[in-house]
Amino acid sequence: MSAVSANSFITSKKLTLSDPNWVRYVLIGLTLGIIGLFLLLPLLTVLVEAFAKGWTAYSSSLTHPDALAAMRLTLFIALITVPLTTVFGVSAAWAIARFDFRGKSLLITLIDLPFSVSPVIAGLIYVLIFGAQGWLGPWFSEHDIKIIFAVPGIVLATLFVTFPFVARELIPLMQEIGHEEEEAALSLGASGWQTFFRVTLPNVKWGLLNGVLLCNARAMGEFGAVSVVSGHIRGLTNTLPLHVEVSYNEYDFVGSFAGASLLAALAVVTLVFKTVLEWKQNQDKKLKAKG
């Protein structure tokens, strides 16, 4: 078969295998319908219920002392866990992508563990370890150190569910980039820290920011693990998701949906920033390819 006839055969096959327009329209319609049913409709419901009694009731619910305490605690937990998770994620990604060592596969498995373990189970594990009847609980009680039903327990539970995000964003990115530029910097006399801040970090900055963004959203929105270890103490250990649950159980629907509207706004902002970061990352790749 000549080259011309072969090209004609391939072109005809492509035309034959192309889907008719109605298939495309049906798939697009199903996608939009699912998005509307499972994403847009719940968000709309949250907003409608939050403002069901007007702006005054909505603002009063958000300025209630318990709501303000829940917001402050949520931000405080995020300010602690996100930096720690970022440091761990960068260190783990650097070690996995750049070095071969015994136990590397085990480390990767442990990083993925929170994705396969229910957050409720994770919270229960901390209760069994640090609770009053747990393995280490009596020792902490003797030294008047509170872990469970206190802020430290919430921090530990949040760390467990958030620490894979940064590492999982950076590991494939560092493996794709390779280490030729880092070796060149080291050969020119740069120190390890100089190589990291001037070569490695600029190359992975978009992936790092994306991982931090997802980690922050998960830290602020975590419910299962935090619910187990918090004790639901008003004004002390109730994060914003727990405040939403408590308000709903007490039939304070405006207060519940007002708190939920903040969490929904956080989710929307996270999606917007994630889209922007992905666009910036693609633009950066195109500029490097042209250069």
Distance CA 113, CA 163 (A): 10
pLDDT 10s digits, 118-159: 999 999 999 999 988 889 989 998 888 999 999 999 999 999
Distance CA 73, CA 260 (A): 16
Distance CA 155, CA 143 (A): 20
**Helices 65-98 and 164-177 meet at what angle, rounded to 10?**
30
Question: Is the predicted pLDDT of residue 4 greater than 80, yes or no?
Answer: no
Tell me whether residue 75 is exposed, middle or buried, using C-beta atoms within 10 angstroms of its C-beta: 0 to 12, 13 to 18, 19 or more.
middle
The model's confidence at residue 282, banded by pLDDT at 50, 70 and 90, is confident
| Residue among 211, 199, 202, 207 at smallest CA distance from 111 | 211
Distance CA 197, CA 213 (A): 20
pLDDT 10s digits, 71-105: 999 999 999 999 999 999 999 998 998 888 888 89
First to last CA, the chain: 41
Please give the full DSSP string across 127-167, using - where no structure is assigned: HHHHSTTSSSHHHHHHTT---TTSHHHHHHHHHHHHTHHHH
Question: How large a percentage of the chain has pLDDT more than 90?
Answer: 50
| Residue among 241, 239, 275 at smallest CA distance from 260 | 241
CB of 70 within 8 A of CB of 242?
yes
pLDDT score, position 152: 94
pLDDT score, position 255: 92
| Residue among 55, 57, 58, 45 at smallest CA distance from 259 | 58
Supply the pTM of this predicted model: 0.84
pLDDT score, position 18: 67
Outline where the chain has alpha helix (H).
3-17, 21-35, 41-50, 54-62, 65-98, 104-116, 119-130, 137-142, 151-162, 164-177, 180-187, 192-195, 201-221, 224-230, 240-249, 253-290
Distance CA 104, CA 94 (A): 12
| Residue among 247, 240, 249, 246 at smallest CA distance from 222 | 240
